[in-house]
Amino acid sequence: MEVDLPFLLLIFVINVAYISLNTIRFMLTMKSYRLAASLVSMVEVTIYVVGLGLVLDSLDNYINLAVYALGYGFGIALGIKIEEFLALGYIMVTAIVPDIETKMPEDLRDLGYGVTTSLAFGREGDRMVLEILTPRKTERKLYKQISQIEPKSFIISYEPKYINGGFWTRKLKKRRKEIEAEEQR
């Protein structure tokens, strides 16, 4: 059995590209980016057909199939990394803090976040609940800021499906741009 390294590399690269695009297309579909998902899927299926054709034409060589599978695994990992880098969409963060007199809402508002507060009662007494909507790109930064202000915060996050109106659409975008401009100076 002959090993053709350039051919194996081609199979690997094709499958990494195909699966990375597949992962990204799936994420775009889940976030309702219809046009982008459709365009990515056209490239994806073309790469898939070419790659699968190469492997099926040489099924007598099990190394080709192994490299195809290896490319699949690397493609998943790369697709996830690309999706994390793109960080499409928004998250809703709920922070529950034990101090109902906390200045956290004002501090977070000063940092450009839209914050809605309410009082709640937990097992150990009164709590303040903060609801914060933020782009996924700033998710980790927000977690750090919350933890720095109140280390005992209980934090939960989820992705909202629909957003309309409120502080977010009017002022937050403007304020976030101002803060980002200040940070770049």
Q: Which domains are present in the chain?
A: 5-86 (no CATH), 90-184 (3.30.70.120)
Question: What pTM was estimated for this model as a whole?
Answer: 0.68
- What is the per-residue pLDDT across 132-183, written as a single tens digit (0 to 9) for each? 988 888 999 999 999 999 999 999 999 887 777 776 666 556 666 776 777 7
Output the six-digit token pair for 29.
Answer: 């579909």
Cross-strand partners of 114: 133
Output the six-digit token pair for 165.
Answer: 């109106």
**Residue owning tokens 């790109």:** 137
Specify burial of residue 84 (Cβ count, 10 A radius: 0-12, 13-18, 19+): exposed
Identify each DSSP E strand in 7-164 by its residue range.
90-97, 114-122, 125-135, 154-158
Which residue, 9, 79, 81, 69, is CA-closest to 44?
Answer: 79
- Distance (Å, rounded) from C-alpha 114 to C-alpha 82? 28
**Residue owning tokens 């200040």:** 182
- pLDDT exceeds 70 at position 11: yes
Output the six-digit token pair for 151.
Answer: 């280390």
